[in-house]
Structure 1
């Protein structure tokens, strides 16, 4: 196995290990996939954003955040406020009592449909206003990628491929869970989990220094 291929495989493995864990971005992609709303746009935004951040990290962009701590502080507080707001909205949906004999999927798709502009804005905010994204993608992936020397760009290719594979599978594969989410209770549980995840991440941003 060549050094370039080894670097690409290492990037693929580390990239997948970092993004598969449930988080704000993944929860949003899953929900959009289940609702079958603007899935392609959401997947493309997530994958392209990750690619940009990976390239910046491998190119040494992590130095920027080290040199400008105030920038990290701004992202931390704005991101926390956004996540709390999104989490509260998810909690409201989770506590809302469904109509008797309601079809969960039909109700979700028909009530309060998300416009493309709102979906794009939300996806961008969940991606770029979360400091953990910079820690994982720019700092960690960038640092590990730099250890591969001249092959670091192959590492970046592997990590980017992992991101594309994950978000595509999560967004378009969510429809396989349609039978489960035909029940309104399943949506309430999902929204409850999303609310907990969003608010927990927000609190970790504010309380953990």
Structure 2
């Protein structure tokens, strides 16, 4: 019993360490939360996607992906390009006049529910880091726990659920601080920097 509990705790801590790092997915949740737009479906999609990826990694998909490095290479190129485009869009928002920012501060809120879900799916499943961290790394660590690997997976899944729920709820509470154009400009600047760094990192790692 102790072995399974320790494996679950290890999964919780490992999952938290890999998920909490700032990335495109977390930034998108932050932006939607600040705009109070479709936060619940976005958080649910992120959490379910993570659970699916963790389970797939523990079940052995990680070994399959590792055996085909060309797949990872192509994913890095397309994923890096996609993330950089999102960074350019955020940078463009930063350069708008204050009047334009005020007029479009609710930009995230104007997204339809399905458009928000679609962007969430793209930021999750087109991001190669998801496969490298969640599938390969998590799968390898989980399998090192032998028979307790599924206890590890449960802990990692719990970390995802807790993090995304906390991030979405916390971002919603920050919305009152974003009543000025300057606040939105700062947020979009952070978004742009994160997207550029992640995108460049993916392309340079090819």
TM above 0.5, yes or no, is yes
Aligned residue for 1:32?
Answer: 32
- Equivalent of residue 109 in structure 1, options 106, 109, 115: 106
Give the whole-Å Cα distance in 1 for the aligned partners of 2:107 and 2:63.
47
**Which deviates more from structure 2 when the two are superposed, residues 64-73 or residues 141-150?**
64-73
Deviation at 1:32, TM superposition (A): 0.6
Give the whole-Å Cα distance in 1 for the aligned partners of 2:11 and 2:166.
18
SS of 2:47's equivalent in the other structure is helix
Deviation at 1:15, TM superposition (A): 0.4
SS of 2:116's equivalent in the other structure is helix
Query: Structure 1 stretches (4+) deviating beyond 2 angstroms?
Result: 106-112
Offset from partner CA, 1:91-122 (integer Å, 9 cap, x none) = 1111112229x8x6x95236871112221111
Aligned residue for 1:47?
Answer: 47
Deviation at 1:21, TM superposition (A): 1.3
TM normalised by structure 1 equals 0.92
TM alignment of 1:131-150, pairs within 5 A: 131-150=128-147
Give the whole-Å Cα distance in 1 for the aligned partners of 2:107 and 2:69.
44
RMSD (Å), alpha carbons: 1.9
Aligned residue for 2:189?
Answer: 192
- Equivalent of residue 119 in structure 2, options 122, 127, 148: 122
Structure 1 unaligned blocks of 5 or more: none
Deviation at 1:69, TM superposition (A): 1.8
Give the whole-Å Cα distance in 2 for the aligned partners of 1:171 and 1:193.
17
Structure 2 unaligned blocks of 5 or more: none
TM normalised by structure 2 equals 0.93
TM alignment of 1:69-108, pairs within 5 A: 69-99=69-99, 108=105
Aligned residue for 2:204?
Answer: 207
2:35–2:109 Cα contact (<8 Å) kept: no
Does residue 58 in structure 1 map to residue 71 in structure 2?
no
Give the whole-Å Cα distance in 2 for the aligned partners of 1:47 and 1:178.
22
Question: What is the count of residue pairs matched by the alignment?
Answer: 206
CA 1:110–1:197: 2 relative to 1, 3 Å: closer
SS of 2:110's equivalent in the other structure is coil
